[in-house]
Amino acid sequence: MIEILGLKKNLNGKQVLDGIDLEIHEGTTLVIMGPSGTGKSVLLKHIVGLFDPDEGDILVEGMSVPKADGKQIQEIRSKISYVFQNAALFDSMTAAQNIQLGLPAEHGRKVYAMEDPAVIEAIRHVNMDEKVLPLLPAELSGGMQKRVAIARAIVGRQKYILYDEPTTGLDPVNANVINRLIARVNDETGSTAVIVTHDVASAFFLGDRIVLLAEGKVQASGTPDEMRHSTDPVVQDFLHPKLEPETEPVS
């Protein structure tokens, strides 16, 4: 279980997170959605200790992330994998080598990445052929890069997987493919997933529970059905944004 307690963070004079309280239960998928610039990705980075909070705490199975020493933060991070928004593959490494990075460092020194059974299993798990393993990221499409990033995230069988805008930059067809892949991976591995997105369709497809983050606060939280039928104007404005009326140009 991951607990976020009274989390506050100010960046460049802006209160990005302003007292966030969340519980992320094992085996569930929590989707955090909200407009761009509302601290969704910043919240994820706090969970893995990439940011220190100004106030509050983050507990991963009872261990405080901001108070952890070097050994403890290593233990916490061994339970968590992270899928970055832009896939974050290393350009000079093959797909196989990138995936193998999800395993302990000593593992890679013992097993050649292209022949690593764990790497081969992971690439198959994301519905890709082993033929992609020797390819560099530049030789892969955006959707394929996302799949390799997910393979890297699941190869070590970590309990928690954090996804930062996994469908950003993809066309609707490939976005749908990635969403279905994430759902299947979560189901087959039993992992706990935290997914940041601004895409409403992805949120309702993937989430067991959805949190709407706006102005640094949790504005609403509930199951997809509860959110869909919410009468909260903040929720409705996000789910059904009103287009600004066009104005006639001044001649």
| C-alpha 227 chain-centroid distance | 20
**Are 66 and 58 within 8 A, CB to CB?**
yes
Rounded to an integer, the average pLDDT of 47-75 is 93
Q: How far apart are CA 210 and CA 145, in angstroms?
A: 26
Instruction: Share the mean pLDDT of the chain.
Output: 88
Any idea which residue has 């081969």 for tokens? 120
pLDDT tens-digit series, residues 158-172: 899 999 988 888 888
Rounded to an integer, the average pLDDT of 202-225 is 91
Banded model confidence at residue 34, pLDDT cuts 50, 70, 90 = confident
Give this prediction's pTM: 0.86
Q: What percentage of the chain has pLDDT greater than the value 90?
A: 56
User: Residue 211 in 3-state DSSP?
Assistant: strand
Q: Where are the beta strands (DSSP E) in the chain?
A: 2-11, 14-24, 29-33, 55-60, 63-64, 80-83, 160-164, 192-197, 209-214, 217-222
